[in-house]
Each structure stands twice: as C-alpha cells, then as structure tokens.
Amino acid sequence: MDQIQHKFVQVQGLKHHVAEIGAGPKVVVFLHGFPEIWYSWRYQMICLAKAGFRAIAPDHRGYGLSDPPPVPEKTTFGDLISDLLAILDFLEITKEPGRAEADFGRLDAKRVVRNIYILFSRSEIPIAAESQEIMDLVDLSTPLPPWFTEEDLATYGALYEKSGFQTALQVPYRSLQEYINITEPVVEVPALLIMGEKDYVLKFPGMEDYIKSGKVKEFVPDLDIIYLPEGSHFVQEQSPDEVNQLILTFLNTRIWSELLIQDHCSLSSYICGRSCSKVVVFLHGFPEIWYSWRHQMICLAKAGFRAIAPDYRGYGLSDPPPVPEKTTFGDLTSDLLAILDFLEITKVVLVAKDFGAKPAYMFALLHPEREPGRAEADFGRLDAKRVVRNIYILFSRSEIPIAAENQEIMDLVDLSTPLPPWFTEEDLATYGALYEKSGFQTALQVPYRSLDEDLSITEPVVEVPALLIMGDKDYVFKFPGMEDYIKSGKVKEFVPDLDIIYLPEGSHFVQEQSPDEVNQLILTFLNTRIWS
C-alpha cells in the first residue's frame, strides 16, 4: 500500500485527493461509489500498476481527503464529471445531508464503513424495516467479508473520520437525476464492465435484464461485460487478482493495442496526447475512497501503467465542498477534468465502481476527446467510523437494507455485528478517518440527491468498450427492475460494447471483497479490450 502515491489537485477552488500508482503510457482511472473512497480500488490499482498500467483513483469532492463543496446539497453528478475532467487535465491525461447522514452520524466512520461492506457485499438489497435505519441491519457480531480486513476497515474509517459522509451521500445518491444536457449519450470508446453475479445491484428492478440483455450497450456499444460468479458489489476488493487481470487484458487488447493501430493512421496527437502515457484513473463509489482501488493500482503500476485514484470532493483526504448539499455528479466530473488538467493528462482510461460509473459515463460523453436531511441526521448520531462500518455491513449483503418507520438506516446494525470478513479494522479506520474529515453531507448529495440532475445529453450512449464486474449477491439487484435491466442486456442500449462479469459470491463491494478476482478481470479487460 505504501507504493501508492497521493496528490492533491485544486479544482474549482477545492482540493481533490488523488491516489496514483504506476507509470507509463497506459492510464486507468478508478471512480469509487458510496460509501467508498479511492481506497476501495486499492487492490485493482496495485495489480494494474504491477502489470504496467498507471492507475488513478480520485476521491470525489466531499469524499475521503478531498475538500467538500461549499454547498454539499447542491452537488451533482455533473460536478463529479467536471472534477474528473479537471483532474485528468491536471495529470495531463488526455480526455476522451438527510436520513442517511443522520443514520451514519450515530456511529463512528469506521463502523459505518464496516456496516456498509457487510451489508452491500451480500447479493440482496439491504432494506431496513419501517422502524429501522440501514445501519441497524448490521450487528456488531457480524463479521466483515473475508476479503475485507480489519486493516482495510481502519483505513476507510480513518479517512471517513476526516471527510464525513455528507458529500458522499450527496453524490451519488441525491444527484443521480441531475440534468447534464448531453444530446447524444452514446460512449464511442471500448469499455469493460466487471460485475459480480452476487452484486446486490442486480436485484434492483430491471437492472439484471438491462445489463445481461445487452440493453446497456445502446449507450456503450463497445462494452465488454464480464461476470464473476461469486463476485459481490465490491468485486475489485473481493477478487483483486481476477479483476486486475481482466483490467490489464482489456487495457492491453482493447485500448492501447487499438490506439497503436490508429496511431499509424496519423492520429497520434489524438491517441497519445503529449507523451503517449497509459494512464488509468480509478473512481471510487460509496463508502469507498481511493483506497478501495489499492489492489488494482499496485497491479497496474507493476504492469507498466500509471494508476491514479482521486478522492472525490468531500471524500477521504479531499476537501469538502463549501456547500455539500449542492454537490452534483457534474461537480465530480468537473473535478476529475481539473485533476487531469493539473496532472497534464490528455488521454485516460476510467475505471469506476458503484456510483463512480456515472461520472465516468458522463466524462466519456462530455469529454470524448479526452440538503442535509434524514440521512445526514442519522449519520450525525454516530462517528464517521461507525457510519462506514454500518454501511459496509449493511450493503455487503444481498438484500436492500430498509429501516422501519421508526428507525433510521444506522439502527439496522448492532455494534456486535462483525465487519465483512474481507473488510479489516484497518480498512475501517482508513474510511473512518477520512469521513471524519469530510463528513457525509457531500456524499449524501452526490449521488443520492443529485440523481435527477439534467446533463443535457440527448444521445446517452457510450461508444467505448466497457466492463461491468458485479457480485451476484449485490443488493442492488434487488431494486425493482435492476436485475432484469442488467442481466437482460438492456443496459447495453446505453453502453453497447459492455462486458458484464458476475462474481457468484460477490457483494456490492466486490472489488474489496474479491480483489484478486476483480483485479484479474480488470487486467484482462485492459489488455484485451483496451490496450491489446
């Protein structure tokens, strides 16, 4: 883990944390979800770095070590996309608070992360009863997923202690519907989707059909989809070796092999940018931070790639935005752009997890050339570490955690419930520490309160190869229509060239649960679909 370097990039007045490992012309960017931070990609980053890739995993604004936005409740996915663009520009990579906060607030960040990894590593969507909150679904006696160590948990917990969960809950969950104003939402580059067959996400209504039917390829036509039979939602941490290999294969076969061919067609300025660097940026989800990509970053760096993993604004070590509740996916996208600009990166491969897929998708569309509420109150009752603990416990499960009417989501987890076996106390400490810094306001704004932002994208089809790795026990599958949406292939209507891989035992945090497997899948995708 010491091999992973950490940088801070100023984007729109916010300090964004970016984790990076590896060097060379092949760049892969990992985008985390919630409650993840860059840390959730740790396995994939290390793996890809070892395979010669440059792995990058930013913390979104308000996540991990990234600054929270001034008004977290106004944060949108558009912000995340802008952030990503800025980060890539900085790195010189060519571009192609509410109920949850309150629930999380009752617990320390480490416990929130622990709960999330436990809950969302399962194949069912964790749903709290009417009188419960999602955090109440995990008992302290519940063990962490076997692939998520106490050390991992300590890492997550420490970072979320810093950042808090406000920004993490804002983006993605409250800014999913932000309007982006993209008229042609089709991504025209190769993409790889590695997905655990047991990822709870497949349980969302229509999701499995959308992905497995190929409908997703309508928006990402050149998408490769690989399913890991035992994979959970955190597949890159659960099976890092497998995911790393899939990424490397995709990069080497679908990205840089094709780019080299095009380079001979007098497209070198477009293909290679300033130095033909192979840069991979990892975007975390929630409750992850850059750390969740640790395995992939190291792997890609060893493989000759430059791996970068930023903490979103308000996540991990990145500063929180001035107003976390105004943070959107657009902010995260803008942040990424600024980071890339700062790093002088002109071309980049994005690797995203959970809601990090949205800013990655938006970034691909927008740059093909290159209010605190119930959640805040719930999270606020607990320290950041406990909030993260609860989240990892709750959302590592295969069912959607649903709190009862007189409960908050944090009430669903008991202190005796153990962390998922693959999420360590060290991981929890890492998350907790970063969320203590950032808080959860921005995290609750994006993605959860900015899902409806209007991006003004008229043709939302991603035309590049993509890989979805999903755990079959990811609770997301339990959302109405989600499993059908993904497994029927409907998702390929938007990502036509999408590969979907299901990990049978995979939870929502599949990249941390099965880092080796996820790593191998990522490496394979990178080497076969991207840089073959």
Instruction: Determine which one of 311, 354, 411, 516 is catalytic.
Output: 354
Residue with tokens 């039917």: 213
One-letter amino acid identity for 514? Answer: S
Q: Count Cα neighbours of 219 within 13 Å in the Cβ-side half-sphere.
A: 22
Per-residue tokens: 183: 């008229």
Is 508 one of the catalytic residues?
Answer: yes
Predicted pLDDT of residue 303: 87
Residue that the structure tokens 């950041």 belong to: 384
Residue of 295, 213, 306, 340 lying closest to 522 (CA atoms)? 295
Residue with tokens 């750390």: 291
Give the Cα separation of 476 and 201 in Å (integer): 2
Q: Which residue type, as a one-letter code, is found at position 60?
A: H
Output the pLDDT for position 327: 82
pLDDT at residue number 263: 29
Structure tokens at 302: 């060893």
- Do 137 and 393 meet the contact criterion of CB atoms below 8 Å apart? yes
pLDDT value at position 172?
65
Return the DSSP state at 381.
T
200, 291, 448, 475: the active-site residue: 448
Please give the full DSSP string across 425-481, using - where no structure is assigned.
HHHHHHHHHHHHHHEEEHHHHTBTT-EEEEEEESS----S-EEEEEETTBTTBTSEE
Backbone dihedral angles phi then psi of residue 39, each to the nearest 5 degrees: -55, -30
Q: What is the pLDDT of residue 365?
A: 85
Q: Cis omega before residue 447 (within 30°)?
A: yes
pLDDT in tens, the chain (532 residues): 788 999 999 888 899 999 999 987 778 899 998 888 899 899 989 988 988 889 999 999 988 899 888 878 778 888 898 899 888 888 877 644 467 777 887 888 899 999 999 999 999 999 988 888 889 999 889 999 999 999 999 988 888 887 777 777 776 666 666 667 777 888 888 889 999 999 999 999 999 999 999 899 999 999 999 999 999 999 999 999 999 999 889 888 877 653 332 322 221 112 222 333 588 899 988 888 899 899 999 998 888 888 899 988 888 888 888 777 778 888 888 899 988 888 888 778 889 888 888 888 888 888 876 633 567 767 877 888 999 999 999 999 999 988 887 788 888 998 899 999 999 999 999 888 888 877 887 777 777 667 777 777 888 899 888 999 999 999 999 999 999 999 998 999 999 999 999 999 999 999 999 999 999 998 998 888 888 7
Total domains, the chain: 1
> Residues with Cβ < 8 Å from 261, sequence gap 6 or more?
none
Q: Is the dihedral angle over the CA atoms 275, 331, 175, 145 positive or is it negative?
A: positive
Outline where DSSP puts E strands in 12-120. Answer: 14-22, 26-31, 36-40, 42, 54-66, 74-76, 92-94, 108
| Torsion angle in degrees (nearest 10) through CA of 346, 351, 357, 360 | 0
Supply 319's token pair: 């500063």
Q: Which residues of 202-227 are buried (b: 16+ CB within 10 A; e: fewer)?
A: bbbbbbbbbbbbbbbbbbbbbbbbbb
Q: State how far the Cα of 388 lies from the Cα of 507, in Å rounded to an integer.
A: 16
Is 79 tagged catalytic? Answer: no
Closest CA to 528 of 336, 180, 256, 267: 256
Residues recorded for the chain: 532
Strand duo 164-165 + 439-441: pairing: parallel
What are the φ and ψ backbone dihedral angles of 16, each rounded to 5 degrees? -100, 135
192: β partners: 224, 466
Task: Give the model's pLDDT for residue 70.
Answer: 81
Q: How many Å apart are CA 421 and CA 175, to the nearest integer?
A: 31
Q: Are 115 and 391 in contact (CB under 8 A)?
A: yes
**Domain membership of residue 500 as a residue range:** 5-528
Residue 448 appears among annotated catalytic residues: yes
Angle, CA 384 vertex, CA 165 and CA 148 arms, to 5°: 95
What's the pTM? 0.54
Give the span between the Cα atoms of 235 and 354, in whole angstroms.
10
